Amino acid sequence: MALGATAELLPANAYRIRAGDARDLKRLHQLLFNASQPEYIAVAGGLEQARALGPVVNLLQALLRGSQTFVCEAHSGIVGMIETREGGRDVRHTLVPLWRAAWRLLHTYGVSRLPGIVRRMQLRARLEFAAVPGAYHLTQLAVDPQVRGRGMGAALLRHAEADARRRGFRRISLTTGSANPACKLFEREGFRIVAQRSDAEFTRLTASAGRFLMTKELYG
Ligand X SMILES: CC(C)(COP(=O)(O)OP(=O)(O)OC[C@H]1O[C@@H](n2cnc3c(N)ncnc32)[C@H](O)[C@@H]1OP(=O)(O)O)[C@@H](O)C(=O)NCCC(=O)NCCS
Provide the binding-site residues for ligand X, judged by CB under 6 A: 3, 37, 141-143, 148-154, 176, 180-182, 184-185
CA 38 from centroid of its chain's CA atoms: 13
Where does residue 151 fall: left (phi above 0), alpha (psi -120 to 50 degrees), or beta otherwise? left
Catalogue the long-range contacts made by 113-120 (C-beta closer than 8 Å, 24 or more residues apart). Answer: 113/45, 116/45, 117/44, 117/45, 117/49, 117/53, 120/42, 120/43, 120/44, 120/45, 120/205
Name the residue nearer to ligand X (CB basis): 92 or 158. 158
Name the residue nearer to ligand X (CB basis): 113 or 210. 210
Name the residue nearer to ligand X (CB basis): 55 or 109. 55
Nearest residue (beta carbon) to ligand X: 153
Name the residue nearer to ligand X (CB basis): 55 or 149. 149
Separation CA 160–CA 82 (nearest Å): 8
Name the residue nearer to ligand X (CB basis): 101 or 174. 174
Q: How far is the CB of 111 from ligand X (least distance, A)?
A: 32
With b for 16 or more beta-carbon neighbours within 10 A and e for fewer, the 91-127 pattern comes to: bebbebeeeebeebbeebbeeeeeeebeebeebbeeb
Q: How far is the CB of 152 from ligand X (least distance, A)?
A: 4
Q: How far is the CB of 102 from ligand X (least distance, A)?
A: 26
Q: How far is the CB of 136 from ligand X (least distance, A)?
A: 15
Q: How far is the CB of 115 from ligand X (least distance, A)?
A: 28
